[in-house]
Amino acid sequence: MKFVNLHTHFYTHSENILEIVNQYPNDFSAEIPLYSIGIHPWHIDENRLSDDLKIIKEKLLLNNCIALGECGLDKRIEKIYSTQIAVFESQLELLHEVSKPVILHCVASFDEVISCKKNSGLSSPFIIHGFSKNYQVAKQLLNQDFHLSFGKYLLRNPDLGEVFKQIPNEKIFLETDTIAESLEEVYTFTAKCKNISVEEMKEIVWNNYQTVFKQ
């Protein structure tokens, strides 16, 4: 049983870690064995949007592409919000042909992401990566069957540990994203939050990975 890293931008070649590496359609490496692919709202380029969607559609058909993402919505950037929604919805449309989970970037847009999920009609699992909000927001997402992935913000904000304690084990993922800390440090910290061993935390996340990603 390996550690599972739900979302990282760096492939470390670690034998004891199953890494889902974030990839972009215009910056892709075929050497990465397991990855997600999507258009991040920060990197929307309407001049190549059609080509990007075509590449994502092709990669989603491959076995080592196990998720769409990261994609989503962000109200704190200059990209036109209506364009972000359109691009996000265009990516979700691709999952009507191949059902895979969605790894989400969501900033100040939880109501809108929930709405997009409902409107999509998809049964695919939706995972908010880098969750950093209070339990009220977490509960809103859990009620809509989202999973929540924790990493950077949990290590930086002790108050978030109280939120993490209340998240049902079957809805938890862990990640490093771009932080300097190791994945093992994330697991150690979260195990302390739940008052369980690191091995128990590994088993929780591993079981969630197998269930959500059908691996």
pLDDT digits (tens, 9 = 90+) for 105-122: 999 999 999 999 999 999
Q: What is the largest CA-CA distance in the chain?
A: 50
What gap in Å lies between CA 77 and CA 60, rounded to an integer? 27
In this prediction, residues 36-50 reach a mean pLDDT of: 97
| Superfamily of chain region 3-213 | Metal-dependent hydrolases (3.20.20.140)
Q: Would you state the pLDDT for residue 166?
A: 97
Rounded to the nearest angstrom, the gap between the alpha carbon of residue 149 and the centroid of all alpha carbons in its chain is: 7
Please, what is the average pLDDT of the chain? 97
What gap in Å lies between CA 9 and CA 215, rounded to an integer? 21
Q: Would you state the pLDDT for residue 60?
A: 98
H helices of 61-197, where? 81-93, 110-120, 135-143, 152-156, 158-166, 183-194
Q: What are the distances in angstroms from CA 36 to CA 50, 66, 80, 155, 157?
A: 19, 6, 24, 24, 27
Is residue 170 annotated as involved in ligand binding?
no
The helix/strand count (H/E) of the chain reads as 8, 8
Contact 197, 85 (CB under 8 A): no
Where exactly are the structural domains of the chain?
3-213
Is residue 40 annotated as involved in ligand binding?
no
Q: Would you state the pLDDT for residue 214?
A: 87
Is residue 177 annotated as involved in ligand binding?
yes
Please provide the distance, in angstroms rounded to a whole number, between the alpha carbons at the two ends of the chain.
13
What gap in Å lies between CA 16 and CA 75, rounded to an integer? 37
**Predicted TM-score of the model (pTM):** 0.96
Helix axes 81-93, 49-60, angle to 10 degrees: 30
| Residue 199: cis peptide before it, omega within 30 degrees of 0 | no
Is residue 199 annotated as involved in ligand binding?
no
Reported as a pLDDT band with limits 50, 70 and 90, residue 158 is confident
pLDDT digits (tens, 9 = 90+) for 111-152: 999 999 999 999 999 999 999 999 999 999 999 999 999 999
Is 80 exceeded by the pLDDT of residue 215? no
